[in-house]
Amino acid sequence: MRSDGDSPRISIVTGVAGGIGAAAADALLARGDIVYGGDLRPTDRIPAGVHYRALDVTDETSWAALVSAVVSEHGRVDALVNAAGIIRHTGIEALPVAEWHAVTDVNQRGTWLGMRAVAPGMRLQGSGTIVNVSSGWGLTVGTANVAYQMSKGAIISLTRAAAMELAPDRIRVNVLLPGWTDSPMTQAQPADTNAAIVAAVPLGRGAVPGDHAAAVRYLTSDESAYVTGAALVVDGGAIVV
């Protein structure tokens, strides 16, 4: 991993069009990174200064084009933040097969394809850091969100496997587990559902995307140089691990 005194880190953040992805990109820009942001479509929530690229995280060709463009312009990728994700509130029996695939393709497959795309270059340079965004629901239980919960649990296992595989090449892989967060995803949920979840948080409030951006900044910095395979829960104490 590059030290803070060297040339700027070259970072890629997915899901940059809002929520945790946008906040993470903002935090990395503030640190001095050169940030490439991938998402299906641009919005006004993308931080100024991000080099936006259209990205379908479920498509390996789309990933190859993004990573190739970044390497062509800067010669390397130092950090990847897999923040893209979707949710569907559907239980086991009511869940259509197409909806299952939509959730797992973005959350689970998209995370794997991102790591797969940047790993060869990081191996060659002998450094790199990857942060995968899971969810507190990857560790605990929710209701009527089986595909989301399964996919987020899979990201935790995927991160730990990747961390061990890539450690000999000095590539660190960690997973962030956010609790309830005020974001476009939760704003689309019923207000009473959100209120009940937030009321149960021991710290007395829900998270804002910046709470998670601070964790991403730490996990992609030299301050976490000896941290890999870790699952960092940022949820105000809602989950007792």
Q: State the helix-helix crossing angle for 97-104 and 146-166, rounded to 10 degrees.
A: 30
Give the integer Cα–Cα distance in Å for 90 and 148.
Answer: 9
27 burial via Cβ count (<10 Å: 0-12, 13-18, 19+): buried
Catalytic residue among 36, 52, 148, 218: 148
Give the integer Cα–Cα distance in Å for 131 and 220.
Answer: 7
The distance of Cα 64 from the centroid of its chain, to the nearest Å, equals 18
Active-site annotation holds for 148: yes
The distance of Cα 163 from the centroid of its chain, to the nearest Å, equals 15
- Residues tagged active-site: 148
